[in-house]
Homo-oligomer: A and B are copies of this chain.
Amino acid sequence: MKLSTKGRYGIQAMFELALYYGEGPISLKTIAENEGLSEHYLEQLIAILRKADLVKSVRGAQGGYMLAAPPDKITVGDVIRTLEGSLAPADCVLEDTPFECSRAGGCPTKLVMERIRDSINKVIDSITLQDMVEDYRRLNQKSAFMYYI
């Protein structure tokens, strides 16, 4: 039940873009360096995010990527689902194309899966990139303050 690196790196990259939102395009190189990720691999992930209209690209020198919407309009759920697909823990509770098993109607395991799925969705849909940025700034401020004690 791990998130793959797609989802994790995707969140990290989107967080970087949120951090510099409004300051022009950020290059993949910058993102990859700041987050310690492979530039080539990140390229594939951000291509998916671009096709899903979550980021915009600017080609050519001094180009790069930026969020397609303000950080408070993009949720962690948008990012994860774009990169990983549904977060349903089993195929029988996929939101779009559920695989119907033979006992689908009266299956007690399915109820469990639905509850897990719903609780994950509830959490990731409630966190925006703006929330992450604010958390980050708060955490950083705190540890800077700690040095003076």
Residue positions of A touching B, CB distance < 8 A: 1-4, 7-8, 11-12, 15, 36, 76, 84, 87-91, 102, 105-106, 108-109, 111-113, 115-116, 119-120, 122-124, 127, 132-133, 135-136, 139-140, 143
Q: Summarize A's interface: helix, strand, loop or mixed.
A: helix
| Chain B residues within an 8 Å CB radius of A106 | 136, 139-140, 143
| Residue contact B124 to A108, C-beta cutoff 8 Å | no
| Residue contact A111 to B123, C-beta cutoff 8 Å | no
- The one of B119, B127, B135 that contacts A120, using a Cβ cutoff of 8 Å: B119
| Chain B residues within an 8 Å CB radius of A87 | 1
Q: List 24 A-B contacts (CB under 8 A).
A: A1-B1, A1-B2, A1-B7, A1-B84, A1-B89, A1-B120, A3-B89, A3-B113, A3-B116, A8-B109, A11-B112, A76-B112, A105-B139, A108-B136, A108-B139, A109-B132, A111-B132, A112-B124, A115-B123, A116-B123, A116-B124, A119-B120, A119-B122, A119-B123
